[in-house]
């Protein structure tokens, strides 16, 4: 399916948000995710079914100072 991920169109085979994160090699406890402007909590990612053209934001903390 085609998604808009962090502002860029990408083709990824994923049915759920959890699948998408695995396909894109995102891991860790500290990710923040939103689909179509709605925050998605970590425990809900496996149940959230994605649709063609969904807008997904994935944020991870950066280290440094």
pLDDT tens for 24-58 read 998 877 899 999 999 999 999 999 999 999 999 99
Residue closest to 38 by CA, chosen among 23, 52, 50, 26: 50
At 32 the pLDDT is 95
Give SS3 for 19.
Answer: helix
Torsions phi, psi of 39, nearest 5?
A: -60, 135
Whether the pLDDT of residue 10 is over 80: the answer is yes
* Beta carbons of 6 and 55 less than 8 angstroms apart: no
* Beta carbons of 55 and 4 less than 8 angstroms apart: yes
Give SS3 for 3.
Answer: strand
pLDDT tens for 11-21 read 999 999 999 99
At 64 the pLDDT is 63
């Amino acid at each position: 399916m085609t998604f808009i991920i962090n502002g860029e169109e990408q083709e990824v085979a994923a049915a759920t948000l959890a699948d998408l994160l695995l396909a894109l090699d995102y891991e860790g406890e500290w990710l923040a995710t939103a689909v179509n402007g709605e925050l998605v909590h970590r425990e809900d990612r496996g149940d959230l079914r994605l649709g063609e053209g969904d807008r997904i934001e994935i944020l991870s903390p950066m280290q440094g100072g």
